[in-house]
Structure 1
Amino acid sequence: MQHVEAGAEQSTRARVARLILEHGPIAAAALGERLGLTPAAVRRHLDALLTDGMIEPRTARTRVQRGRGRPARMFAITDAGRSAFEHAYDDLAGSALRFLAQRQGEDAVGDFARSQMAALVERLAPAMREVPADQRVRVLAEALSAEGYAASASKPRVGGEQLCQHHCPVSHVAAAFPQLCEAETEAFAELLGTPVQRLATIAHGDGVCTTHVSPPQLSEAMNRNKSKESGR
């Protein structure tokens, strides 16, 4: 019986945290109204989430009679709280891919990964075609940052460029399914129009996902050679 009660308590607490994630900053009274909880129950869950570092208090001002204002305590999700939800999504995605692999085989996972990346390519390709070749890595980094990858571009001494992703929303899933990283690398090559090579990945324990991008001149030379060979 105690185990059932504890499970129900955790379930309700997760609902409180999710509501704060989706609608925060939000006041305790609003949480109670949306979830049908008593003020005492809301305070109990909020105190536990505060102790765990999942949420943090904020102060807002609300208007009351005669134009006076009083501070209202609001609650917002923290980075730790947001990460906890990301891990939950990772678990669901990982389970879905394992199910797909068991039912349809490993090739099906690769097909799924490429279909996901195809959507990214379709979305970015028109803009990338308008960008000069020597600016494409920078523009791709900016586009990836907008997608949540915290990406940057740099030019190492050895030639070519490096595309670095300092955050990977699917790193836990990619650790079990490298097809996700492989499909992403293929998409980068298509968008940049030049060969690329993955040097490091967060999924494999590296601090940053690093991709070496060959100089555009290399791609042009390869295309010329292919044309010559096909004309023989």
Structure 2
Amino acid sequence: MKKDSGLSTREQIVQMLKTNGELSTKDLTEQLGITGMAVRRHIDALERDGLIESRTLRQPMGRPTAIYSLTEEADRHFPKKYHAIALDLLGELAKEAGESQVNHLFDMRKETLYNKYSGSMDHKNLAEKVSTLADIQNENGYMVEWQQKNENEFILEEHNCPISKIANKYNHACQCELGLFENLLDADITRTECLAKGGKKCVYLIRKRNEQQ
């Protein structure tokens, strides 16, 4: 492996494991050109951070060898341009069947998500529903915070939007998210700021409906 001077030793180890799959301490030592003790120190740190894991390779002769590989957590650190593939596919669908079919896909996704999460809202007041929605969105990578303004109003903020590039081109995706929130919370919601439209975050003002207790 050609060493990249712009990368730290830990970053080089992670990249080497990404490209090779599995490597031993000896392999890493030889490729990095540093001492075995230094490699083991970096390996220990990477294991503590949950970025690599090991398995024991038994050999016909000699002592068993520890082989290291990346964990799923480490894999998340590598860039993935899923949005580019999704945009290409949606673009092809729009050309073949029209943008109405793209919007229909987003409508179907909204319905699927509602069916998935609506049960978690049963028998909860609005504050509990907002808290549950924040937990759901955080699990999906939206980096959510929320607060209660008064007895009848709440603010929910999303600091990240995994589909922002798609929503920037297909605004119906944002409308479906707003509709999903309204259905899950059974509340009136206004989006006052949107990442897909150049905002710094997505901000939702949530109001209790008159018929709610």
Unaligned runs of 5+ in 1: 1-15, 30-38, 45-56, 222-232
1:220 is aligned to 2:211: yes
For the Cα contact (< 8 Å) 1:125–1:191, is it kept in 2?
Answer: yes
For the Cα contact (< 8 Å) 1:137–1:192, is it kept in 2?
Answer: yes
**1:37-76 deviations in whole A, cap 9, x for unaligned?**
xx8xxx69xxxxxxxxxxxx935666679xx898765446
1:101 is aligned to 2:94: yes
**1:66-122 deviations in whole A, cap 9, x for unaligned?**
xx89876544636651xx21x2x1011001111222222222222111111111110
Paired with 1:156 and 1:199, the residues of 2 have a C-alpha distance of 15
1:92 is aligned to 2:85: yes
Q: 2:194: which partner in 1?
A: 201
TM-score scaled by structure 1? 0.61
Q: 1:164: which partner in 2?
A: 157
**1:173-226 deviations in whole A, cap 9, x for unaligned?**
111111111101001001111111111222222222111111x2x3428xxxxx
| Distance change >3 Å, CA 219–CA 114, structure 1 → 2 | farther
Please state how far the C-alpha of 1:149 moved relative to its aligned partner: 1.9
1:140 is aligned to 2:133: yes
For the Cα contact (< 8 Å) 1:172–1:203, is it kept in 2?
Answer: yes
SS in 2 for 1:211: strand
Name the % identity.
21
Letter in 1 for 2:23: A
In the comparison of the two structures, how many residue pairs are matched? 171
Q: 2:22: which partner in 1?
A: 27
Structure with greater helix percent: 1
Q: 2:46: which partner in 1?
A: 58
For the Cα contact (< 8 Å) 1:62–1:69, is it kept in 2?
Answer: no
2:184 to 178, 191, 196: 191
| Distance change >3 Å, CA 146–CA 80, structure 1 → 2 | closer
Paired with 2:93 and 2:162, the residues of 1 have a C-alpha distance of 20
Paired with 1:154 and 1:170, the residues of 2 have a C-alpha distance of 24
SS in 1 for 2:187: coil
Q: 1:155: which partner in 2?
A: 148
Letter in 2 for 1:162: I
Q: 1:210: which partner in 2?
A: 203
| Distance change >3 Å, CA 211–CA 69, structure 1 → 2 | farther
Tell me how large the CA RMSD over aligned residues is. 3.6
Show structure 1 runs of 4+ deviating over 6 A: 68-71
**1:11-61 deviations in whole A, cap 9, x for unaligned?**
xxxxx97x949xx9x5236xxxxxxxxx8xxx69xxxxxxxxxxxx93566
Unaligned runs of 5+ in 2: 1-13, 33-44, 48-52
Paired with 1:145 and 1:191, the residues of 2 have a C-alpha distance of 16
Letter in 2 for 1:112: L
Paired with 1:144 and 1:186, the residues of 2 have a C-alpha distance of 15
Paired with 2:98 and 2:211, the residues of 1 have a C-alpha distance of 37
Q: 2:5: which partner in 1?
A: none
**1:123-158 deviations in whole A, cap 9, x for unaligned?**
111221221233211111112212222222212469
Kindly report which structure 2 residues correspond to 1:4-83, keeping only aligned pairs within 5 A, or say none: 20=18, 27-28=22-23, 58=46, 74-75=69-70, 77=74, 80-81=77-78
